[in-house]
A and B are shown apart, each in its own frame.
Chain A
Amino acid sequence: GAVVSQHPSWVICKSGTSVKIECRSLDFQATTMFWYRQFPKQSLMLMATSNEGSKATYEQGVEKDKFLINHASLTLSTLTVTSAHPEDSSFYICSARDRGRGSRDTQYFGPGTRLTVL
C-alpha cells in the first residue's frame, strides 16, 4: 500500500512555456500533499504544502505565482511551473501524507519528475 504516482516522469520544454505535473495517491486518501525540489546530489527542498480544498502554503523564497499548486481532491495535487526558464530545471518530487490508519505522520513519496527547460 501507500503508493504515490507522478506524471510525467520526465519532461523537456521550451523556455517560456508552462508545465503541469500531477501527483496522485493511488491507494489512500491524502489530506496533505507536499512538493519538493531536488538539485543533483542535494537533499530535498520543500517548496510548498497543500491541503485538499485550500490554498497551498509556500516556503520562504518560493514564488507562488510561478509554482501554482492545486489540490483538488484527496488523491490528486498538481504543480504547474509557469513561464519556465532554464534555472527551473530540476527534479520535482511530491509526497502525500496518509490520512488514516495511525500513520498520519508518515509521508510517502512519488517517483519524481525530471524537468528540463531548454
Chain B
Amino acid sequence: QKEVEQDPGPLSVPEGAIVSLNCTYSNSAFQYFMWYRQYSRKGPELLMYTYSSGNKEDGRFTAQVDKSSKYISLFIRDSQPSDSATYLCAALLGGGGNKLTFGTGTQLKVEL
C-alpha cells in the first residue's frame, strides 16, 4: 500500500464547475500537507500548504485536511480551462523531516 493514495483520473469537468480532488494517506505521523499543480512538461508549482487538520482558502482554491480520517482534499471553485493540469498531493512528516511523499497525481481537464 502506498503511503499517499490518489485517483489518477483523468477528471473532466465543464468550465465553471466546482472540482474536488482527494487523497488518502496511511501514515498518521504526517503533519504537513501540500497541493502542487503541474502543467505538462513543467515542474510542480506549490498551490496550497497546510499544517495538521483544518481548512485553508486562497482565492478559488480551498485545501482541507481531516487527520481523523486521513483525508486530504482540494476544492477549485469556478474552474477555468487554465486549471487543466495534473494536481499532486503531498505529505511531510512532522519534526522537520525532509522527504515529501507524493500521490500519483490527478489529471484534470476543464472544458469550455
Contacts and interface: CB of A to CB of B under 8 A. Distances in A.
A95 B44 CA distance: 9
A46 interface: yes
B18 interface: no
Nearest to A103: B49
Nearest to B95: A105
A107 B45 CA distance: 10
Contacts of B44: 44, 93, 109
Interface stretch (A11-19, A60-68, A80-88, A110-118): A110-118
B98 A97 contact: yes
B42 interface: yes
A34 B97 CA distance: 13
B104 A42 contact: yes
A32 B41 contact: no
A111 B92 CA distance: 22
Contacts of B42: 111-112
**What's the interface size class on B, roughly?**
20 to 34
A109 B88 contact: no
B88 A112 contact: no
A54 interface: no
B54 to A, nearest CB: 16
B43 A104 contact: no
Interface of B: 8, 32, 34, 36, 41-46, 49, 88, 92, 96-100, 102-105, 107
16 contacts: A42-B105, A43-B88, A43-B105, A46-B99, A46-B100, A93-B44, A95-B43, A105-B92, A107-B46, A107-B100, A109-B36, A109-B46, A111-B42, A111-B43, A112-B43, A114-B41
Interface of A: 2, 4, 6, 32, 34, 41-44, 46, 49, 91, 93, 95, 97, 104-112, 114
Given A6-B43, A93-B43, A110-B43, 20 more contacts: A32-B98, A34-B98, A34-B100, A42-B104, A43-B88, A49-B99, A91-B41, A93-B44, A95-B43, A95-B100, A97-B98, A105-B96, A105-B97, A106-B34, A107-B100, A109-B43, A109-B44, A109-B45, A109-B46, A111-B43
